[in-house]
Chains A and B, each alone.
Chain A
Amino acid sequence: KQEVTQIPAALSVPEGENLVLNCSFTDSAIYNLQWFRQDPGKGLTSLLLIQSSQREQTSGRLNASLDKSSGRSTLYIAASQPGDSATYLCAVLYGNNRLAFGKGNQVVVIP
């Protein structure tokens, strides 16, 4: 069974600092890894998708890395802003099109 862990569960940072969010998964046989953002009471918004053959993916201030062999991914958010406050979810696609999610990193950016 694929298990996904996100550390830390919650963190607060001052505005302007870089954010580093970690995700680990137990089975390296994945098709891709996806990072989502979820605001309170809202749905999931896809941020970045990393294919299993890729090492990293970038979009604006966001950069995600993937080390499939060690079962790890890291999401970097540069120069954090109060609008980055949200819960960030990591999910891996594996098996018969199954997505396994971590429990999320709850982020608060303090102005």
Chain B
Amino acid sequence: NAGVTQTPKFQVLKTGQSMTLQCAQDMNHEYMSWYRQDPGMGLRLIHYSVGAGITDQGEVPNGYNVSRSTTEDFPLRLLSAAPSQTSVYFCASNRARTSTEAFFGQGTRLTVV
């Protein structure tokens, strides 16, 4: 049982480049979300999805796009990378609002130069 899988683990981008961070879960969870973790800031919610075809913005959505075409996948797109997006990104999933625990991927460490 793989749980939540994120790829890549590490990435270096040049300013202005675009890329997609992949996230997949095999637990048939309805809810998926993306967080970024920065020193001194804790984890902050970027975007989340309550099911296939439904997404919404979190606390820090600017510069990021998401879509949810399947239950399993929730990719995060950076359209034009900026140095301020240098961070560690975590994807999480959990079942619908039945107070079950959230599962996290191992993270993607992104550096924008």
Nearest-CB residue, chain B, relative to A51 = B99
A42 at the interface (CB under 8 A from B): yes
Q: B42's contact among A31, A49, A51, A102, by CB below 8 Å, is which?
A: A102
Nearest-CB residue, chain A, relative to B44 = A101
Write the nearest CB–CB distance from B101 to chain A, whole angstroms.
4
Number of A-B contacts (CB under 8 A): 63
Which candidate, A13-21, A76-84, A89-97, is the interface stretch facing chain B?
A89-97
Q: How many residues of A contact B (CB 8 A)?
A: 24
A97 contacts B101, CB within 8 Å?
no
A44 at the interface (CB under 8 A from B): yes
Tell me the residues in window 90-108 of chain B with beta carbons closer than 8 Å to chain A beta carbons.
90, 92, 94, 96-97, 99-107
B41 contacts A103, CB within 8 Å?
yes
B40 contacts A46, CB within 8 Å?
no
Q: B40's contact among A51, A93, A103, by CB below 8 Å, is which?
A: A103
A97 contacts B48, CB within 8 Å?
yes
B102 contacts A46, CB within 8 Å?
yes
* Complex Cα spacing A102 to B41, Å: 9
B58 at the interface (CB under 8 A from A): yes
Residues of B within 8 A of A63 (CB): none
Task: Report the 7 A-B pairs with minimum CB-CB distance, sorted nearest first.
Answer: A103-B42, A43-B106, A44-B104, A101-B43, A49-B101, A32-B99, A97-B31
